Amino acid sequence: MREVAVIGAGSTVFGELWGKSFRSIGIEAGAKAMADAGLSGSEIDGIYFGNMSASRFINQTHTDALVADYTGMATRNVPAVRTEAGGASGAVAFRQAVMAVASGMQDVVIVGGAEKMTDMDDDSINMVMNSTTDAEWEAGMGVPLASIYAMIARRMIHEGIATREGIAACAVNSHFHGEFNPDAQFRKAIKLESVLKSGPTCDPLTVFDGAPISDGASAVILCPLEDAKKYTDKYVKVAAVSQASDTLAMTQRQSFTSFAATKVAAADAYRTAGITAADIDVAEVHDDFTVAGVMALQDLGLYKNGGEAFLDGSTRFDSGKTAVNTSGGLKAKGYPIGAAGVSQIAELYQQLTGTADKRQVRDAKYGLAQSAGGTGSAVAVSILEAI
């Protein structure tokens, strides 16, 4: 097994990109990543692509071929693989790509993720989002994703694992960082009161507890670690890529206040990287709902009380502790679903190469990305290491 490096990254701005097509944002992110890595498409021999539901959002299935086509790589018949795992679609693509390079089957690969959500009306978008829960036991019974996370929040508060304020503080942390990320959908800090007093979605959660509906794309370039210097001086090592599953429906779970898949994937990733949670300098966690961000910090072992860490500012880029969601997270950077997991890797790449500008975490050595599908039904945890 060869060691693998990330040698470049690129993203579009995330937001309501009504003037841009799915195709154009995919090309934009890919071209930026290739330019960043200092290589051209002719040097790439594999494409991995995370996308949740272009089939429903824009009536385009078979987006693996679309990406190969519109990046010009179909003219060289470069194989493309689309993965889908709900919100973790992009993270799973990243893991498959790392496996391909590690195994020696491919050398230089591009990992992309994209979603174009805002071409559809809001009710239909919610239908698509809810289809990542159990169609027979959850969505089909009138239980949407937001209400499941509201139940999780209630249970966490009931058991004293989190406070309402701690949960809301996850959004405050993400928006704080969003202000410093020129690619973020929301570039404006918010106050805790704004989250608490925003319109209710599913009580106790409000509009500000949920990530927005977004368009956007991200891409990163991988190659064998030993070849990285051929392309660039700006590269990081992939120290671990792990993935774990859980039941689709929450009713089958042992716990309503923890995602076992996060714990299992994290334990495996730490073991592979030869580090512990205490070594992580910067983490990108899946805060599609604030309460999921709080759970993630706890399940990853980064903070015993995730809500407190968000509340007291430990998670900010300049705290000297483990910085969390310096990109703005899903909540403020935006949540174009298929792009999310790839965008996390792109942020870690910037942080670990010292190119994160105004939100730079000092002397960051290890970065961790956690990406979840459904309600923690599939979780990918990756660890990157500065060289």
The answer to the question of residue 246 lying near a copy of itself (CB under 8 A) is: yes
Q: Is 223 left (phi over 0), alpha (psi -120 to 50) or beta?
A: beta
- Of 37, 5, 17, 44, nearest to 336 (Cα)? 17
Cβ neighbors of 211 (< 8 A, separation 6 or more) are 287, 288, 289, 329, 330, 331, 334, 335
Q: How far is the CB of 271 from a copy of itself (least distance, A)?
A: 14
Cβ neighbors of 322 (< 8 A, separation 6 or more) are 280, 281, 282, 283, 302, 303, 314, 315
Q: Residues for the chain: how many in total?
A: 387
Structure token pair of residue 55? 């089939």
Q: What are phi and psi of 106, to 5 degrees?
A: -135, 160
Q: Which stretch binds a copy of itself (CB under 8 A): 9-17, 176-184, 261-269, 347-355?
A: 261-269
Question: Please, what is the angle between helix 145-158 and helix 290-299, to 10°?
Answer: 60
The answer to the question of residue 24 lying near a copy of itself (CB under 8 A) is: no
- Pattern of binders to a copy of itself over 45-84, x per CB under 8 A? --x----xx-xx-xxxxxxxxx-xx---xxx-xxxxxxxx
Structure token pair of residue 49? 């692509």
* CB nearer to a copy of itself: pick between 79 and 313: 79
Q: What angle do CA 205, 329, 243 make, to 5 degrees?
A: 95
List 309, 373, 384, 385, residue binding a copy of itself (CB under 8 A)? 373
The answer to the question of residue 125 lying near a copy of itself (CB under 8 A) is: no
Size of the site for a copy of itself (CB under 8 A): 67
List 10, 11, 13, 23, residue binding a copy of itself (CB under 8 A)? 23
The answer to whether 3 touches 274, Cβ cutoff 8 Å, is no
List 35, 105, 141, 278, residue binding a copy of itself (CB under 8 A)? 105
Q: How far apart are CA 301 and CA 194, in angstroms?
A: 29
* CB nearer to a copy of itself: pick between 243 and 350: 243
* CB nearer to a copy of itself: pick between 40 and 124: 124
Residues 305 to 344 in contact with a copy of itself, rule: CB under 8 A: none
The answer to whether 74 touches 326, Cβ cutoff 8 Å, is no
The answer to the question of residue 44 lying near a copy of itself (CB under 8 A) is: no
Q: How far apart are CA 337 and CA 373, in angstroms?
A: 10
Q: Which stretch binds a copy of itself (CB under 8 A): 146-154, 245-253, 289-297, 309-317?
A: 245-253
The answer to the question of residue 294 lying near a copy of itself (CB under 8 A) is: no
Q: How far is the CB of 161 from a copy of itself (least distance, A)?
A: 21
* CB nearer to a copy of itself: pick between 194 and 245: 245
Q: What are the residues binding a copy of itself (CB under 8 A)? A: 1, 21, 23, 47, 52-53, 55-56, 58-66, 68-69, 73-75, 77-86, 92, 96, 99-100, 102-105, 127-128, 131-136, 139-140, 242-249, 252, 260-261, 264-265, 373-374, 377-378
